[in-house]
Amino acid sequence: MSELTTKTIAELRDGFRGGEFTAREIAEQHNAAVVAARTLNAFTVETPDEALAAADAADLARSSGKAGPLAGIPLGIKDLFATRGVDTTAGSKILSGFRPTYESTVTANLRKAGAGMLGKLNMDEFAMGSSNETSAYGPVISPWRRKGSNVGLTPGGSSGGSAAAVAASIAPGATGTDTGGSIRQPAAFAGICGIKPTYGRCSRWGIVAFASSLDQAGSMARTVRDCAVLLEAMAGFDPQDSTSLDLPVPEWEAKLSSDLKGMRVGIPKEYRIDGVPQDINALWDRGIEWLKDAGATPVEISLPHTKYALPTYYIIAPAEASSNLARYDGVRYGLRVEGEGGLDSMYAATRAEGFGAEVKRRIMIGTYVLSAGFYDAYFTKAQRVRALIKQDFRKAFESCELILTPTAPSAAFGIGETTDPLAMYLNDVFAVPASLAGLPAMSVPGGLDEQGLPLGLHLIGNELDEQIVLNAGLAIEQRAGFTHRPEKWW
Amino acid sequence: MSVNTQQVRHIAKLARIAMSDGELERLVPELNAIIGWVEQLAEVNTEGVEPLTAVIDQKLRLRDDVVTDGNIRDDILANSPEAQHGFFAVPKVIE
């Protein structure tokens, strides 16, 4: 039996269908990889039995010719997705022991497609963080290390467990969620691919809410094709989410093509910012050359409100979070701390004990910007600037079909190295504008920096145009020849 | 604008998060750094710009006003820290 954990989703699917190996063999090898990689702290819950049950069902379905598109594929599921009967904590102590009696639409879609679940993946608490250090269950350790160093690095965040599990070949693919870069930044840090589709493509039903106008699920895997395969199974209209798009899911995988003839690639001049390492700007230039080689024409574009995207995000996201997280009151689920007696004291004591420092900070900011007397000056103002940011993209897409930028302003950093909250927020400087505009965006690995760490290239498409994002991702993947995997030390 | 300890105490009360004096003191400079930073939005001219509320243009769907689920009381109570007689139990509210 060959090493199945190093295969891509497409290879596993095709090998399973062709009878080269069984779904049970795939699941067993991945279950073993999960156990062997516990040092990485990528999983908050392991569900080997679920993976095996889905595998047995897939083997049975294959023998009767009814195997689904993801039959035989075991996946990691970010702990933000409600999974029936399996702990769903969103990386928070306040949801410790919460076992949903229902299943999120996205994971239900994946199960319907035949996929199995290896376990729940660690993440920043309520998806608030860029390094996985805010998880109540301890940080995920990246499988990557700097050349000649054994300092523990962050896999990025908030989908850090997803990125680490996929990069370390524990899972062939994983779900992620992206509110302001939480799929793309960890994908870049971990040398894998990750796509956030257009807002509304994937149902938010059953995903623990952070900032509802921004939250969007997406796929993370080692190849562009695998991201397309996964996303196709995850996406789709859901009447239970009022912002779900009532559109058919395109055949992204079947239509993958790295031929970009006639395409114009926008290069936003405002993304050339100070303090970005030379390696990253050099990779950006190489990315432009690769897309030219694939037939595209680079054009300079302007997104004039880029510098205001992060401050806009840090008003809107905390405001929505403070409202969404009001539900954690010690009454219906999760932690309850009695306090000094009375209902109000119970609320305050429960939330004091259950939330971590970053979540409290964001709830406080959100409460402040929504409070009487400040609402217009902060929240409404931010919504107006958000409209301008959206308009910037609308104008830009009149002169191009695609935008190329770096994914993150640095490579992965060490755990504990960034302690200033504002410095941490800057991680998402390139990722947040596309989130505010609801656009599909993807990170694809482009190369290693001089420390031997992966760097990502970031592709942004127009509304509903995931296809061009994936196609350009494929063109980069073919030219970058990124086959680096972290050397196994765990 | 900036916040002082008293205002931070008030925000914590609104947010229903119990905080010690030490925690409040620590939060004041942290919140002020973030508030000072987001205030750069003031320099953007937004005159006549409508606040963005839906990022992808679409009409909110209407559905028939009928019951589509229910009868799942035990499911709803299953994760409650304290459920009694088919209800959520909370500390006494009315004297």
Give pLDDT, residue A129.
96
Q: Does the structure show a pLDDT above 80 at A222?
A: yes
**Surface of A (348-367) touching B: CB under 8 A:** 348-349, 351-352, 355, 360-361, 363-365, 367
Q: Does the structure show a pLDDT above 60 at B92?
A: yes
Cα A369–chain centre separation: 27
Kindly give the residue spans of alpha helices, DSSP state H, lying in A98-156: 105-112
Q: Does the structure show a pLDDT above 70 at A2?
A: no
Residue A117: HSE in the Cβ half-sphere, 13 Å Cα cutoff: 28
B59 to chain A nearest CA, in Å? Answer: 9
CB contact under 8 A, A385 and B41: yes
Please, which residues bridge with residue A325 across strands? none
Over residues B56-84, mean pLDDT? 93
Q: Is residue A490 less than 8 Å (CB to CB) from chain B?
A: no
In a domain, A10, yes or no: yes
pLDDT digits (tens, 9 = 90+) for A155-188: 999 999 999 999 999 999 999 999 999 999 999 9
In a domain, A190, yes or no: yes
**Surface of A (84-113) touching B: CB under 8 A:** 97-102
> Residue A427: helix, strand or coil by DSSP?
helix
Q: What is the C-alpha separation between B38 and B59, in angstroms, rounded?
A: 31
Q: Does the structure show a pLDDT above 70 at B40?
A: yes
In a domain, A399, yes or no: no
Q: Does the structure show a pLDDT above 90 at A191?
A: yes
Q: What is the C-alpha separation between A166 and A222, in angstroms, rounded?
A: 7
Is the complex ipTM more than 0.90? yes
Among B11, B41, B49, select the one facing A368 at the smallest CB separation: B11
Q: Does the structure show a pLDDT above 70 at A241?
A: yes
Give pLDDT, residue A101.
97
pLDDT digits (tens, 9 = 90+) for A388-431: 999 999 999 999 999 999 999 999 999 999 989 998 999 999 99
In a domain, A327, yes or no: no
Q: What is the C-alpha separation between A232 and A448, in angstroms, rounded?
A: 30
Q: Which of A78, A93, A120, A196 is catalytic?
A: A78
CB contact under 8 A, B61 and A242: yes
The count of structural domains within chain A is 1
A472: Cβ–Cβ under 8 A, 6 or more apart, which residues? A260, A263, A265, A291, A294, A296, A402, A404, A459
Give pLDDT, residue B1.
81
pLDDT digits (tens, 9 = 90+) for A264-301: 999 999 999 988 999 999 999 999 999 999 999 999 99
**Does the pTM exceed 0.90?**
yes
Q: Does the structure show a pLDDT above 80 at B28?
A: yes
Give pLDDT, residue A1.
52
* Domain enclosing residue A101, as ranges: 4-258+412-480
Whether A78 is catalytic: yes
Give pLDDT, residue A11.
98
pLDDT digits (tens, 9 = 90+) for A335-390: 999 999 899 999 999 999 999 999 999 999 999 999 999 999 999 999 999 999 99
Check which CATH number belongs to the domain holding A179 and give it.
Answer: 3.90.1300.10
In a domain, A295, yes or no: no
Give pLDDT, residue B60.
85
Whether A147 is catalytic: no
Q: What is the C-alpha separation between A49 and A60, in angstroms, rounded?
A: 16
In a domain, A174, yes or no: yes
- Average of per-residue pLDDT values in chain A: 97
Question: Under the phi-then-psi rule, with left for phi > 0, alpha for psi from -120 to 50, and beta for the rest, what region is A199?
Answer: beta
Q: Which CATH superfamily is domain B5-43 in?
A: Glu-tRNAGln amidotransferase C subunit, N-terminal domain (1.10.20.60)
Q: What is the DSSP string of A61-102?
A: HHHTT---TTTT-EEEEETTB-BTTB---TT-GGGTT---SS
Give pLDDT, residue A389.
98
Q: What is the C-alpha separation between A248 and A263, in angstroms, rounded?
A: 25
Give pLDDT, residue A173.
98
Compare all CA atoms of chain A with the CA of B18 and give the residue at the minimum distance: A348
**Surface of A (266-305) touching B: CB under 8 A:** 305
pLDDT digits (tens, 9 = 90+) for A434-448: 999 999 999 999 999
Q: Does the structure show a pLDDT above 90 at B95?
A: no
In a domain, A246, yes or no: yes
CB contact under 8 A, B19 and A352: yes
- Average of per-residue pLDDT values in chain B: 94
Q: Is residue B49 less than 8 Å (CB to CB) from chain A?
A: yes
Q: Using 50, 70 and 90 to split pLDDT, how confident is the model at B59?
A: confident
In a domain, A197, yes or no: yes
